[in-house]
A and B are shown apart, each in its own frame.
Chain A
């Protein structure tokens, strides 16, 4: 079939074996960009989420953020950021962080707020300070939910980083965008398939992490539902 020809063209091209356009190099770029954006988003969103979830104040921020973040078009943010700040790493990183932070914040806040109030009272009752309750009781209980939020954010960032190749970012999106621009379909298709594989692999890694974050007794019967609340 055509597909096999296209893919073998893509994977055997000398340019894709070594050098700046090598597949391994592009994958590494994609992972580094996504990782940076995810880390920055976590640094910004998780502390705020902890605070909102634990105190119960500012939940309206969470509701507003979920709506707004879902409605913003990624391509628009990326092109605008680059026009305003020029093609540099930071300019592209800002929209990625802006898109990854809301699901993380929401998941963190909901996870912490969802801790059983009786358990929290009991922890206070045996003399734990608020800090100890938050980090010793609420955070472990919320970990699966937070990780589910991180998974949503990660998948979102990987997808957006692909789109961001349009404004000159490296990574796997380069193949897709360059292939479209030069009407070189094997390149576009190969890039798209690699992005899909990366997204699926990320999902699997997070599924594993979420499983490990559950207490052993809960692993068998509980599976974390994520799509609705975390998105």
Chain B
């Protein structure tokens, strides 16, 4: 480490293409599971509001899943999905995303006042139409809040996947450590944080477009 600067700008300049590829790979590994997680969590949340008895055991189960250390879960999956495959990293990340999104979906759906629901029915909305036109839009601020948490957590967790051979930007940490060369590590930390920031901003923007009424309200949109 003697005399080695924290960041060698030349290395970064020479590897821009490489860094961009890793960032893209990282975004796919981290964010596709969040999307799949949302596609699973929303119907599951709907089921939980229809049959409230489901919610306690399901949320308990996913609470435990969420607490499982990511590296351990990656490792346990290796015999089924193989070393250094995307699935090894993406399956656990999907489970973590569901763990975050299920409670926010249920909270969002429950936040629709009973009077509003009844008004919609009285106006002739069928169950399906009421769901898509009233209940889901009302849950959007909760959902985007959950998506923000899930996406940012997923982006930082995906880097651990580098230890099992598939971690996008996480590879920079391994590479830098093995060569006692801090530049890739710093670049990796900055890029992971940037990717998280950009994703967060995109989701905030999405909420503004989808639920403009929630923009000024505090609390749910945190």
Q: Which of A70, A77, A83, A227 is within 8 Å of B63, CB to CB?
A: A227
Residues in A neighbouring B76, C-beta threshold 8 A: 189, 192-193, 196
Q: Which of B78, B146, B159, B185 is within 8 Å of A185, CB to CB?
A: B78
Specify which of A70, A86, A176, A202 lies most central, judged by the most chain B CB atoms within 10 Å of its CB.
A70
Q: Knowing A79-B176, A162-B69, A227-B103 are in contact, say whether A180-B75 is a contact too (CB < 8 A).
A: yes
Q: Which of A71, A158, A196, A231 is within 8 Å of B193, CB to CB?
A: A71
- Interface pair A199/B188, CB less than 8 Å apart: no
- Interface pair B72/A196, CB less than 8 Å apart: yes
Residues in A neighbouring B23, C-beta threshold 8 A: none
Docked complex Cα distance between A159 and B186 (Å): 22
Min CB gap A169→B, angstroms: 13
Residues in A neighbouring B71, C-beta threshold 8 A: 159, 162-163, 173, 176, 192, 195
Residues of chain A from 63 to 79 with CB closer than 8 A to chain B in the complex = 63, 67-68, 70-77, 79
Q: Does A182 contact B (CB under 8 A)?
A: no
Residues in B neighbouring A227, C-beta threshold 8 A: 63, 66, 99-100, 103
Q: Does B46 contact A (CB under 8 A)?
A: no
- Interface pair A189/B75, CB less than 8 Å apart: yes
- Interface pair B196/A84, CB less than 8 Å apart: no
Residues in A neighbouring B36, C-beta threshold 8 A: none
Q: Knowing A70-B149, A73-B173, A199-B69 are in contact, say whether A2-B79 is a contact too (CB < 8 A).
A: yes
- Interface pair A72/B64, CB less than 8 Å apart: no
Min CB gap A103→B, angstroms: 12
Q: For the complex, count residues of A whose C-beta is within 8 A of B.
A: 46
Q: Does A200 contact B (CB under 8 A)?
A: yes
Docked complex Cα distance between A226 and B189 (Å): 28
Docked complex Cα distance between A86 and B76 (Å): 31
- Interface pair A75/B163, CB less than 8 Å apart: yes
Residues in A neighbouring B72, C-beta threshold 8 A: 159, 162, 176, 191-193, 195-196, 199
- Interface pair A199/B1, CB less than 8 Å apart: no
Docked complex Cα distance between A177 and B160 (Å): 12
Q: Does B81 contact A (CB under 8 A)?
A: no
- Interface pair A166/B163, CB less than 8 Å apart: yes
Q: Which of B99, B163, B193 is within 8 Å of A180, CB to CB?
A: B163
Min CB gap B167→A, angstroms: 8
Q: Does B85 contact A (CB under 8 A)?
A: no
Q: Does B42 contact A (CB under 8 A)?
A: no
Min CB gap A181→B, angstroms: 10
* Chain A residue, CB-CB nearest to B107: A228
Q: Does A82 contact B (CB under 8 A)?
A: yes
Q: Which of A70, A83, A195 is within 8 Å of B180, CB to CB?
A: A83
Q: Knowing A76-B188, A77-B189, A192-B72 are in contact, say whether A83-B67 is a contact too (CB < 8 A).
A: no
Docked complex Cα distance between A203 and B182 (Å): 35
Of the stretches B14-22, B116-124, B131-139, B150-158, the one at the interface is B150-158
* Chain B residue, CB-CB nearest to A86: B1
Residues in A neighbouring B155, C-beta threshold 8 A: 71
Q: Does A188 contact B (CB under 8 A)?
A: yes
Residues in A neighbouring B170, C-beta threshold 8 A: 73, 75-76
Q: Does A80 contact B (CB under 8 A)?
A: yes
Residues in A neighbouring B189, C-beta threshold 8 A: 72-73, 76-77, 80
Residues of chain A from 147 to 206 with CB closer than 8 A to chain B in the complex = 155, 158-159, 162-163, 166-167, 173, 176-177, 180, 185, 188-189, 191-193, 195-196, 199-200, 202-203
Specify which of A76, A82, A84, A158 lies most central, judged by the most chain B CB atoms within 10 Å of its CB.
A76
Question: Chain B interface (Cβ within 8 Å of chain A)?
Answer: 1, 6, 63-64, 66-73, 75-76, 78-79, 99-100, 103-104, 146, 149, 152-153, 155-156, 159-160, 162-164, 167, 169-170, 172-174, 176-177, 180, 182, 185-186, 188-189, 192-193, 196-197, 200, 222
7 pairs of A and B residues whose beta carbons are closest in the complex? A159-B69, A71-B196, A192-B72, A73-B159, A192-B75, A79-B177, A76-B189
